[in-house]
Structure 1
């Protein structure tokens, strides 16, 4: 079982680690320009796209679980329909984003905190990067479907190519052409379309047989769409809770000033680095648990769950230790500005505890998605975000300042781990009895 877990998780880890690596490169490029405003602008602009793209992340998560269960049942028609329905929603949604981009921009900067200078630079970033939406959202569907088919290798190839192209273009546009915030945004656009082209090539190479199952009437069957959307709807709400927490975190950081925003923009990369690493095991859990759940093999499902948690504990302890001993050195990768570093070091110790407090939430997310236990996921996320993030922040922000944001983040991550543990037996395992 460990071999099966690592076979799926290692490519997923390599895939996921390229995402925070890209963010780190962008911050490095902006952090070494002549003002901290550029760091804040890319962070603020990035929040909008986190808000948008994470809003569509329910597609990747729901598709991987549903496709894995169809794969476990050997249901080729079901596997094909999941792919087509997801791609239809992705293309329709991205088209709407392009059409209504001006309204989205205006609404976003009304909601988000930040100085006028930072917002102006962030707008420049936004109006370039928005054109990546069709490719980026479609890739969520394709990568989720590949994972449901027990194929973590293709998403890894796609992600590695995207990030190599993105990093190369960003360096070229920023360092050579002086395009500043527009340069990193244009690098993202080019890279997403290069990745989308590779995804189509890989799909046709191995899964061309899916094309024979294309049937407009079958795709549009209301009852099947309803099942798909029920699971997707719960995950959508769950995802928007995550979006709300992280968007609020960055927006309120901006409200504490440009230096606080730059400092928290660097620190949050520590959390993203850990989360993308653990998500490699969560994605493996989606595929493995989904397969056993679809095959109604409870014994193997329980065995897989236990062994997934062995890896979660190991990496939770490892990252906590790394942040404890090397956190100051990591911060200097992002900027050389002493005022930003001094500000970030005030809050660094909160990051030390997050990996050990939160590893369970990532593993449970994968297990719940594989079992399509979407209602329980939704409910635990609502409780964690409202009761353990927003309420503590509003109770203590006047006395603790930025520390209240980090306290809320730590409580949010810990409560997810605990609440999902308490509900797991009823939400996942009892259903197979």
Structure 2
């Protein structure tokens, strides 16, 4: 069973690591331009796109769970139909974003209320990167489908190649053409479309035979459409909660001052590094839990969940030690601003605690997605947001300032795992009754 887990997890870890690596490179490119305004601008621009694109993350997660269960049940028709439904939603969603790009920008910068110098840079970044929407959202659907089909190698190849292209182009545009934040945005747009075309090529190359099982009537089947919409609706609401928490975190950072905004933006990279690493095992949970539930194999399900938590405990302990001993050189790699590094060091203790407090939430997300237990994902995320994160912040922030913001974030991550554990039996094991 460990081989099955690692076969899916390792390629996803490799591909996931390139995502925070890309964010780190973007911040490093801006961090070495000599002004904290560039770091803050990239952070704000990235937050806007996190809000937009994370809102469509349900396409990846919902598609994975539905496809994995169809794969486990050997329902070849439903495997290809699930992809076509997801791509249709991706196309419609990206069109809406492009048509509403200006109102979205106006509302976003009104909410952030950042300093004028930061806002100007962030807007130049936003209005270029927004044109990557069709490719980015389309890749969510395609990546989820590949993982549901138990194939993590193709998403790995796509992520690694597209992110290498992104890093190379962004570096050239920033330093070779002096485009500052605009260069980072342009590099992202080109790289995302390269990834989309690669994904479509791989489908035509390796999965063409599944097209024989596709039909327009099957795609528009009312029962399956309702199931697809219901699952993705709950995941969408769950994702909105995450978006709210991270947007709130960045907004409160920006409202404090641009130094705290820069510091928290850098420290969030530690969270993203760990989360994308853990997501490799969460993706393995999605694929294997979905497959075992589709195949009605309860023994396999229990075995894979037990082993996933053993891996999770080991990885979280390793990251705790790594962050406790190596935070200073990571910060130095991100920026050459000594004042920013000095300020960030005051909050490292929260980063050290983060892995061990949050790993279960990542694994349980994957397990719930594989089981298409989306209604319980929605309930637990709403509870963690409304009853833990928000009260914690307002109770702690007056006395502890930015420390209070970080304590609220850690409380939110811990609460997610606790609430999901409470719902575990009802959400997962009752699937076999």
Shorter chain as denominator, the TM-score bin is over 0.9
Give the match for residue 289 of structure 1.
Answer: 289
TM-fit CA distance, 1:34? 2.2
- Give the deviation of 1:325 after TM superposition: 1.1
For the residue of structure 1 that corresponds to 2:334, the secondary structure is: coil
How far apart are the structure 2 equivalents of 1:100 and 1:213? 36
Does structure 1 conserve the Cα–Cα contact (< 8 Å) formed by 2:274 and 2:319?
Answer: yes
Question: Is residue 69–residue 290 contact of structure 1 (8 Å, CA) maintained in 2?
Answer: yes
Tell me whether 400-409 or 215-224 shows the greater mean CA deviation: 215-224
| Distance in 2 between residues matched to 1:248 and 1:242, nearest whole Å | 10
Distance 2:113 2:106 in 1: 13
Residue 165 of structure 1 is matched in structure 2 by: 165
Question: Which residue does the alignment assign to 1:175?
Answer: 175
- CA positional deviation for 1:35: 0.7
Q: Does 1:100 find its partner at 2:100?
A: yes
| Aligned residue number for residue 320 of structure 1 | 320
1:375-386 to 2 correspondences below 5 Å: 375-386=375-386
Instruction: Provide the rounded CA distance (Å) in 1 between the counterparts of 2:342 and 2:415.
Output: 30
- TM-superposed CA distance for 1:214, in Å, is 3.3
Q: How many residues align?
A: 433
| Aligned counterpart, 1:121 | 121
Which residue in 2 is equivalent to 1:65? 65
**2:428 partner SS:** helix
The alpha carbon displacement at 1:421 in A equals 1.4
The 8 Å contact of residues 45 and 122 in structure 1, kept in 2 or not, is answered as yes
Pairwise CA RMSD of aligned residues? 0.9
Q: TM-score, normalised on structure 2?
A: 0.99
Quote the Cα distance in structure 2 between the aligned partners of 1:150 and 1:337: 44
1:396-411 map, 5 Å: 396-411=396-411
Moved more, 253-262 or 392-401: 392-401
* C-alpha distance in structure 2 between counterparts of 1:236 and 1:366, whole Å: 15
Q: TM-score, length-normalised on structure 1?
A: 0.99
Partners of 1:220 and 1:395 in 2: how far apart?
A: 49
2:346 aligned counterpart, secondary structure: helix
Runs of 5+ consecutive residues of structure 1 not aligned to the other structure: none
Q: Deviations over 1:79-134 (max 9, x none)?
A: 11100000000001001111111111111111124211111110100000000000
Query: Aligned partners of 2:254 and 2:342: how far apart in 1?
Result: 17
Distance 1:312 1:288 in 2: 16
Asked if 1:270 corresponds to 2:267, the answer is no
2:335 matches 1:335:
yes
Matches within 5 A, 1:2-81: 2-81=2-81
Query: SS in structure 2 opposite 1:178?
Result: coil
| Dislocated runs of 4+, deviation >3 Å | none
Give, in whole Å, the separation in 2 of the partners of 1:339 and 1:325. Answer: 20
Residues 357-394 of structure 1, C-alpha deviation per residue, up to 9 Å, x if partnerless?
Answer: 01111111111100111111111111111111111111
Contact 1:87 1:138 in 2 (8 A): yes
Query: In 2, distance between residues paired with 1:310 and 1:34?
Result: 44
Within-5 A mapping of 1:215-364: 215-364=215-364
Tell me if structure 2 keeps the 8 A contact 1:347–1:403: yes
Does the CA contact (< 8 Å) of 1:113 and 1:252 recur in 2? no
CA deviation profile, 1:284-323 (whole Å, cap 9, x unmatched): 0000000000111111100000000010000010001111
In 1, the alpha carbon distance for the partners of 2:380 and 2:390 equals: 15
**What SS does the corresponding residue of 1:124 show, helix, strand or coil?**
helix
Q: Deviations over 1:146-177 (max 9, x none)?
A: 00000000000000011000000000000110
Does structure 1 conserve the Cα–Cα contact (< 8 Å) formed by 2:293 and 2:431? no
- Which range moves more in the overlay, 148-157 or 330-339? 330-339
Distance across 1 between alignment mates of 2:113 and 2:355? 28
Matched-pair contact (CA < 8 Å) for 2:77–2:214: no
Q: CA deviation at 1:346?
A: 1.2
- In structure 2, C-alpha distance between the alignment counterparts of 1:192 and 1:260, rounded to whole Å: 31
How far has the Cα of 1:218 moved from its partner? 2.2
User: Residues 415-430 of structure 1 correspond to what in structure 2 (within 5 A)?
Assistant: 415-430=415-430
